[in-house]
Every structure is written in C-alpha cells, then in structure tokens.
Amino acid sequence: MIFRQVPFDHPDAVKLNDQVQLEYAERYQSEGDATPLDATMFLPPRGLYLLAYDDHDRPVASGGWRSQEAGGEGYSDGDAELKRMYVIREARGLGFARRILAALEDDARAAGRTRMVLETGTKQPEAIALYTSSGYLPCAKFGHYRHHDESRCFAKPLSRP
C-alpha cells in the first residue's frame, strides 16, 4: 500500500469521488452527497487529501480532512473534518480505511487541530463500525446534513501522544 498526497481535483481523486457518490446514491436513494467541497479546502496546512494505491498502482482508497471553526453549522474551533473516506469494493477488508484514517489523524494533529469530526449515515454500518472501533464517539450534529434523521456525527480528540 502506497499513500500519495494529491489535490482533491486530481484525476484519481475525482475517479474515486465519483464512485463514492454512486454508492451514496445507491444506499440513500439520492443524488449523492451534496456537501459543498472544493480542492482548496484540502490544501496543507489547513487540510490534506490522501489516496492509497495497491501493488498495481491502482487507486483503491481515499480520504481527507479540512479545517473547521465554530460557526453556524455546529463545528468547534480547532476541528478537523474527515471527508470522502472511501475504499473500492474489491479492496475492502484489507486495512486501507484504517491506515488512511490514522494517517489523516496524525496529519491533522501535527497541523494543530484538536478534534477530528465526521458525519456519516445510518446506511453505512461498516463506516460506523470503523469509526467507533477507532475511538470515535457520537457527538452533537454538525455540517450540511445536521438536520437529517439518517445523519450520524462522531468526534475524537486529537490529543498529543
């Protein structure tokens, strides 16, 4: 497994983002995730976007974080919001998501962020299992989907080791 830091609009990132949007649409019978995102949100030191590649140099997983501060959508100062965690179906169960998650947490911590937050949905039980087994706890809802019944929000302090 090789990690590469890429822009959110890198062709491989766009390809995986398109795939995750199709999966969201299928699971939620919707048009996908409408959270406004752009490439500048993931630029260091205020964010990071990672892709994982397999031994055949094929992009198989993605994830990023972006800085958030207190405001009208329920974030707190110092938050790092996890976005677009995704593993292609044929690479699931091989540890890609857990390793990307750890790398993103380490990077956000190094950038001075104090808490990692994420929003997922009730129709993504494997995502909820990953996050809760990685130390995330339910928290007050925030973000674009904070008023949706199927939305679930989680947080984890990014304390220094």
Tens of pLDDT along the chain (161 residues) come to 899 999 999 999 999 999 999 999 999 998 888 889 999 999 999 999 999 999 999 999 999 999 999 988 999 999 999 999 999 999 999 999 999 999 999 999 999 999 999 999 999 999 999 999 999 999 999 999 999 999 999 999 998 65
Give the C-alpha separation, 117 to 75, whole Å: 9
Taking the CA atoms of residue 64, residue 70, residue 75 and residue 77 in that order, the dihedral angle to the nearest 10 degrees is: 60
What does the DSSP 8-state code read for residue 144? T
| Sequence ranges of the domains in the chain | 2-115
Q: Which CATH number fits domain 2-115: 3.40.50.300, 1.20.140.10, 2.102.10.10, 3.40.630.30?
A: 3.40.630.30
